[in-house]
A and B are shown apart, each in its own frame.
Chain A
Amino acid sequence: MRFQEKLREYTQQELWDEYCGFLTLSSEEFMGIQKRLLLEQIELWSASELGQSILKGKRPRTIEEFRQMVPLTTYEDYAPILLARQTKALPAEPVLWIQTTWEGGVHPIKVAPYTRGMLDTFKRNVITCLMLATSRGKGSFDISVTDHMLYALAPLPYATGLLPLLLQDEIDIEFLPPVKEAVDMSFKERNAEGFRLGMKKGIEYFFGLGSVLYYVSQELTNMQSGGKKGGGKKHTSLSPAMVARYLLAKRRCKRENRPLLPKDLFRLKCFMCAGTDNRCYKADLERMWGVPPMEIFAGTEPTCIGCETWSREGVYFFPDACFYEFIPQKELDKSLADPGYQPSTVLWDQVTAGEIYEIVLTVLKGGAFARYRVGDMFRCTGVGSQMEGNSIPRFQYVDRVPQIIDIAGFTRITEKSIQQAIDLSRLPIESWTAKKEFNEQNRPYLHLYVELKRSTLTTSAVSERILQEQMGVYFKYLDQDYEDLKKILGLDPLKITMLKCGTFAAYRQKFGEKIRHMNPESCEIHELLACHRNHRAEQGNTNYEWV
């Protein structure tokens, strides 16, 4: 029975119990489901060629054995089989393959197989997300067949493209623009058409990456305020109700002396965002739409694994999507210092409130990934909530792991990709370190601290601006997503600070070790800059070497 038919057949409470009942499971019940499903997955995965390529002949039978025998994995462990799409080597027959970019400039794409069971679970969990996004309290939600969704995410073969397909399997809500048409449109065309249809039919649901939602919302604001040419023309197809609402909103905005905002025209029931850096945009999005966005957590490898509730207090994981393990911060630090170190993990019911963890996933229902480091960090914000009447842990998305710099959910910049850009640019960079930082508007950017080779200083003209432009060119060349960041969001996410020659050496001399290339701690950057200043001060009375 489709969800749409269930809406007629069952009461709200019955549907709530069906889809959101997991929120009130006890920890034991939740773990009971997790462990039971993992046992099935262990059997499937261990017997598969893919599993054996990692297990090397071992066959775990219990969860304890599984955690002992299977090392923590990354995509490299699966790449030979998955990239060749060897379906027979997988634990279960995939129904489709989902694709995403892997490591800008180093590896073009990575793919993940989706089985029937995974898709069914995904679908069910997407409905749960939708219900929770429209809920204002326990047991109530507001979903109607006549609703419209403005959908600002990429189509298939990306994971985000699955959502409209799965949703339409369950309910006839209208996507703006229709999915079939949207596939062939550019990002800007999609938004413009979506908004045009929204003005005609109304927008009840809005879903996208936090950064994209912000960009689209701003575009809407501009278009509504008539800030762009042709704005008036677009309003010719408005419904009478929308015209009335538009006129009233205009009047109110004029009285309040503020620009027209989306919230003046649309009453969103559901506002969902995904991806990284959502916290940078949430406040602005709420200001523009009058509704706080609800965060969901989904990805190519893990599928949809959790979402927030009406309380917006943190993400709750679904018990049937993946088996969750968590690497505590201390263990993560050890593994960063020593890449050969196998960090230990804790289970979902062993997390401590306030602690930060890297998540490790085993995809259930015949999924390919086992004990997989997907590269995301979560903070456990609490265990048990009075407001939600449960006793299970909830989490807040922190960021990608330090080895990866993700800007606004678009790029995944790694040490390798930066080094490759440097190499290609042939810039005389001696040493560098990169850190994700936030500007005054709380927007993320990549801050590259570089030190040039002494020997080249007299032979090449290198300024911060040249460095920034050259590096930007090569980042765009290597990474399509990086280019999209600029093209779609208009963001230039790169900032370069040139440090004096010898600064990195001074740092190493002072602290006995090199500064990390990727995302060193803020205090370490502070110390690096201190070395930069002190070194200059020490040489204050002498001429610069290159002069």
Chain B
Amino acid sequence: MNGYSWISIIALIGYIFLLVPFLTAKKETRVYYSFIALLIALILWSSGSVAMRMQLWPSVSFWNYVSVFGILMLPVMYYHFVLDFLEEKRSYGRYFWLVVFLVMAGVNQLTDWLIPTPDVRVVDGVTQFVYRYHWPIYLVFGIVALCLGQLALIIRRYCKRNRAAMYQLIPVIAGMAVLFAGHMAATLPIFLGFPLDIISGCVNAVLLIYALYRKRLFHMTMLLSSTNRYILALVLGVAASANFLLPLQNFFIGTVEMGRIQSTIMVAIAMMLTVGVIYVILSLLFDRLIVRHDQKRSQVLADFSHNVTRLLDGKDILRELSEAIQSALEVHRIFMLVKSEDGDYQVAYTASPLEEKNISLSADHPLAEYFKVHKKCLLQREFVRTTAYLGIWEQEKQAFERLGIQCYCPLISDEELIGIVLLAQKKGDSPYTTGDIQFLQSLMAVCAVTVKNSQTYETALNEARRDELTGLVSRRYFYELLDREFERSRDTSLALSILNIDDFKLYNQLYGTAEGDDALRRVAGILTASINESSHACRINGKEFALILPGFDIYSAKMLTESIVEQIGSINSSSGRIYSRITVSAGICAAPYMAATSRELLKNAEAAVYSVKRAGKNAVLMYSDEVRRQQAQQDSHVSGYSEHATTIYALTAAIDTKDHYTFRHSQSVSYYAGELAKAMGLDQRLVDISIEAGLLHDIGKIGIREDILCKTGPLTDEERQIMRSHVDNAVNIIRYLPSLDYVIPAVLSHHERYDGTGYPRKLAGEEIPITGRILCIADAFDAMTSIRGYRDPFTTARALNELQSEAGKQFDPVMVPLFVQLVRSGRIELRAQLSVGGQDMSGLTG
């Protein structure tokens, strides 16, 4: 083996070194396959040459044929490689040239005519291979030239269409030229025996690798796979130990006096150790020099993934993301925009707290629209080349330029663009590489999921803390918030204002729950709009709201509350509705002036509200000693009726002056209703309601004209409508007796019919409050059995029959039999009265 053989061996090792990573790589395009085929042709050529020069078994001519086959396949493989490199699919030449060169290889194999086997000579003990080329070699060159000529035409045609490809192809063309020149030169006598062709092949392979690298089809890390490290370690190990293996074995045999087998084993171990050490050194070297970069990124990504999965706060996640980007890419200006409730993307985090926070991209911003379609990181230099960029404002362009934005990264989760990360230039203004983009996309993918999760969590938390209907702080969170703000405001002041909507139950009954809900929302809207950022508006009960006002003293809290109460009072008038005015009873207390704990603060504010209610509603009251005293007195009261009994008697007495019948009638109805309620086994509360509602049910007649009230003839439609208004009148009177407002449902529904044809709300069946159904029977029975100016009273039996016949129509079918039984058994005594006139609207008698 002469010195030239080493050239072939080095070339061969080089080719194998290139081939291995390509064999194991993921083959995304055809060019990988054609490059592998090209390398195999080069390997056949080099390996044949090496084996021939080493005169290995079976023969020099065999290895020459292998080498020549490799050489002849080279132009075809080149042809395929270039076409695939250019992504040119249309070419019939692929098959044509393959057949031509296979035929040539076959002819040469059989005749040794085109490229003859070299003569082997031994001169001064050195083996030389002398090629004797004849003219047919130029036939080979001619055909190769034709093949490459056609390839050149294809390249020209392609480059005309695609000028950028020309620059990518330069290394390929240079490689081809080197290869061709090397072969031509090898035929010259001056290079006799020198493997110039092999050297040109090596140069060519390096140029091809460079071309693939430029086309981003090859990365240096591919060469540094573990397989390649082993191969390299082995080669270096063999090379390094070649000179000392034999002396070492001799040392073991001669000096240590080992047997041949033992010494061979020792030498093998020494060689294994050498290879192992070289492998370790190579790995350390590669990892430090090249792979370290990638490993660092992998580590950053792994750490980021690990850290963010434990986080639920959006800002914490974005901080982690920012730190990960800064650590891996050395970008120091980062702007993270997250989708807000209104759909726009607003800055949620910046790497430096000093950065601008007023960057906002609308939901339909061209960048957002672009990401909705493309979903990948976008470099500024690419963005300016898109049609989306046409729609960017000049001031936005200037802002991006001022901030030095170089890269835009989308945060996409479940096909939804939830955020955009803007990155400025890297340290040293080095450009973003493909690797950077891949790394960023991995980061964004992980981050998007966690940000989405955090948003979902925050939404759920907010929902839990927010009242669904009004969006205000819910009752549950109110207590937590009150305690927290109380603690925070220890050194300053904290006011609590509680606003209770007056007669809201009635409002619901009059206009329905949908309107009631709407009113609540509007009240909530006023509260939210009236407070500052540090204050909180809460809905602590169905109709009760609270304002936690840190830093407010009593006076400013009162001013604010009065302003709110005024605004609430104008809700319906400002909306143009004809509904009754909503009024609010509000109570205020403030710490540390009048409360030492948060609980006391709440209790006192509630006491103030209670005082307002008792004093006639619709007012704002600060908690004071007077309120405290009233509260103490109130604690001793048992019934709201007893408190207002005198008022009720006064009112009924007033009716008595207009219509004596009504006065007596109310007392009778109260009696009948109470007895029926007791017999039904209702609890004492409902029995009391029935009795009190009986007394008050016709109190609205006080507002009916006397001529209608006492009319003995039939009522006209208009008069009937006026008469019917006594129900609404009654309700409007009772609502000013705050502690008796619980009777309103009964009063409001005592003219409803079980079949749904009554008034005022046409409720039916169980929709009618139970006390209303009781009153209805009591009212009708008393009306029937009383003497009226326009008819004689019914006998008890007839009245009971009427009740029975109307059971299920006007009256509750369950209550009527019970009432009949009570009358018949004497448990209810008849309280018939005499009357001189007047109309009752029980329906049976009207």
Q: Identify the A interface with B (CB < 8 A).
A: 1, 7-14, 17-18, 21-22, 25, 29, 32-33, 36-37, 40, 92, 115-117, 140, 144, 319-320, 365-366
Contact = CB atoms under 8 A, between A and B. Distances in A.
B393 A21 contact: no
A11 B215 CA distance: 12
A36 B387 contact: no
Given A36-B366, A36-B393, A40-B393, A8 B381 contact: no
Interface string B607-627: 000000000000000000000
Contacts of B395: 40
Interface in B367-395: 369, 381, 385-387, 390-391, 393-395
A278 B397 CA distance: 37
Contacts of B397: 117
Interface in B135-176: 161-167
What DSSP secondary structure best describes chain A's contact surface?
helix
A13 B167 CA distance: 16
A36 B381 CA distance: 22
Given A36-B366, A40-B395, A7 B390 contact: no
- Interface size class, chain B: 20 to 34
A9 B164 contact: yes
Nearest to A13: B162
Interface in B343-367: 364, 366
Of B164, B366, B390, chain A has the most CB atoms within 10 Å of the CB of: B390
B393 A7 contact: no
Given A40-B394, A140-B161, A366-B394, 17 more contacts: A1-B381, A9-B164, A9-B167, A11-B162, A11-B164, A11-B165, A12-B161, A12-B162, A14-B385, A33-B366, A33-B390, A36-B391, A36-B393, A37-B393, A117-B397, A320-B390, A365-B394
Q: What are the 3 A-B residue pairs with the smallest beta carbon separation, nearest first?
A: A33-B391, A117-B394, A18-B385
A115 B364 CA distance: 26
B383 to A, nearest CB: 11
Nearest to B385: A18
Contacts of B166: 8
Contact of B387 (A8, A13, A21, A40): A21
Contact of A320 (B162, B163, B167, B391): B391
9 contacts: A11-B162, A11-B165, A12-B163, A17-B385, A29-B387, A36-B393, A37-B391, A115-B394, A319-B390
B376 to A, nearest CB: 16
Contacts of A33: 366, 387, 390-391
Contacts of A21: 386-387
B384 to A, nearest CB: 9
B331 to A, nearest CB: 21
A140 B157 CA distance: 13
A22 B364 CA distance: 18
Contacts of B164: 7-12, 14
Contacts of A92: 394
A7 B163 contact: yes
Contacts of A37: 391, 393
A25 B395 CA distance: 24
Nearest to B381: A1
Contacts of B165: 11
Contacts of A22: 387, 390
Contacts of A140: 161
Nearest to B394: A117
Nearest to A92: B394
A399 B397 CA distance: 37
Nearest to B395: A40
Interface string B520-553: 0000000000000000000000000000000000
A476 B386 CA distance: 49
B557 to A, nearest CB: 38
Of B164, B166, B386, B387, chain A has the most CB atoms within 10 Å of the CB of: B387
B386 A8 contact: no
Contacts of A32: 364, 369, 391
Contacts of B386: 18, 21
A25 B387 CA distance: 8
A7 B161 CA distance: 11
Contacts of A8: 163-164, 166-167
A37 B393 CA distance: 6
A543 B604 CA distance: 117
Contacts of A12: 161-164
Contacts of B369: 32
Nearest to B393: A40
B88 to A, nearest CB: 13
A156 B393 CA distance: 28
Contacts of B381: 1
Nearest to A18: B385
A319 B387 CA distance: 10
B113 to A, nearest CB: 45
Interface string B40-82: 0000000000000000000000000000000000000000000
